[in-house]
């Protein structure tokens, strides 16, 4: 796992020279080895939830052993540093144009050679203009007969890569299932239509920006858990497929979403 490698390097950082002279902290992979999202920008596509990724990144840093960079750079499919952001996030609430041919080919290479794309609809519907644009994008990146978006089974490892879940919730609970593109046994695109970013977003005063409907703060917590699971899946793939992990996970769960407590605090 990329983040695991960074953690291992950090663990060996404090060394001493002969005679007691200390050396400064070592970063063999550089500070850029932290995991960070890339906020995918496609032409005039909007960014309806600008604070969402920073909050999710903070939660991942707090809840897991992944070393996370809180700021997420905006990238395009042809950005020269695209490979430095292994997980891309595309959010929207309206129609967007397809990238040029070079962008389509670059995005195909990124996804084919290990990248992961999370698409998050903030439309508040399951068949709006953003949804139609997403389906055109997938068809352009992976022309038929290559796999297109398909429903993800509730027993897929993405629902148990860190937390045990059975559906992808967000600000809304409109769609009971996640859609995804699978290539060679690996999900490369995950598409959720419940506005996860709307559940994650916080303003500068630490207040959540949008209510979660219909289940309030319990639903918000489950939206954070889905975000964590998606990142853990992108980094670990099917590590948690083996059911032997499930009892351990259940024992380690100190907090349940129906407890009414806020485990997150404020960043």
Predicted confidence at residue 77, as pLDDT, reads 96
Sign (positive or negative) of CA dihedral 193, 221, 229, 239: negative
Q: Is 266 helix (H, G, I), strand (E, B) or coil?
A: coil
Residue 251 has a pLDDT of: 56
Instruction: Report pLDDT for 140.
Output: 98
- The CATH number that domain 25-259 falls under is 3.40.50.12140
CA 52-57-217 angle, 5° bins: 55
Q: What pLDDT, on a 0 to 100 scale, did the predictor assign at position 247?
A: 54
pLDDT tens, N- to C-terminus, the chain (267 residues): 444 433 332 333 333 333 433 333 333 334 457 999 999 998 766 789 999 999 999 999 999 999 999 999 999 999 999 999 999 999 999 999 999 999 999 999 999 999 999 999 999 999 999 999 999 999 999 999 999 999 999 999 999 999 999 999 999 999 999 999 999 999 999 999 999 999 999 998 999 999 999 999 999 999 999 999 999 999 987 554 544 444 555 555 554 555 544 444 445
| pLDDT attached to residue 17 | 34
Dist. CA 79–CA 75, nearest whole Å: 6
Are the C-beta atoms of 71 and 32 separated by less than 8 Å? no
Structure tokens at 217: 């703060």
pLDDT value of residue 257? 54
pLDDT at 208: 97
At 37, which helix (H) or strand (E)?
A: strand 37-40
Contact between residue 201 and residue 211 where contact means Cβ atoms under 8 Å apart = no
């Amino acid at each position: 796992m990329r983040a695991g490698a960074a953690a291992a390097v950090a663990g060996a950082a404090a060394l001493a020279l002969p005679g007691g002279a200390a050396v400064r902290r070592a970063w063999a992979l550089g500070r850029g080895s932290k995991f960070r999202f890339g906020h995918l920008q496609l032409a005039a596509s909007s960014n309806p939830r600008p604070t969402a990724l920073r909050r999710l990144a903070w939660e991942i840093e707090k809840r897991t052993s992944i070393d996370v960079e809180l700021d997420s750079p905006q990238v395009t499919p042809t950005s020269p540093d695209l490979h430095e952001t292994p997980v891309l996030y595309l959010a929207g609430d309206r129609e967007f144009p397809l990238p040029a041919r070079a962008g389509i080919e670059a995005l195909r290479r990124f996804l084919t050679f290990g990248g992961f794309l999370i698409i998050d609809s903030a439309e508040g519907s399951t068949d709006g203009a953003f949804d139609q644009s997403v389906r055109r994008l997938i068809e352009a990146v992976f022309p038929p007969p290559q796999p297109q978006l398909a429903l993800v089974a509730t027993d897929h490892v993405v629902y148990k890569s860190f937390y045990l879940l059975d559906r992808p919730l967000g600000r809304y609970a409109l769609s009971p299932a996640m859609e995804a593109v699978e290539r060679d046994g690996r999900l490369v695109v995950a598409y959720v239509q419940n506005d996860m970013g709307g559940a994650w977003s916080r303003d500068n005063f630490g207040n959540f920006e949008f209510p979660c409907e219909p289940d309030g703060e319990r639903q918000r917590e489950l939206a954070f858990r889905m975000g964590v699971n998606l990142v853990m899946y992108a980094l670990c793939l099917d590590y948690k497929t083996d059911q032997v992990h499930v009892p351990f996970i259940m024992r380690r769960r100190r907090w349940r979403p129906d407890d009414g407590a806020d485990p997150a605090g404020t960043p």
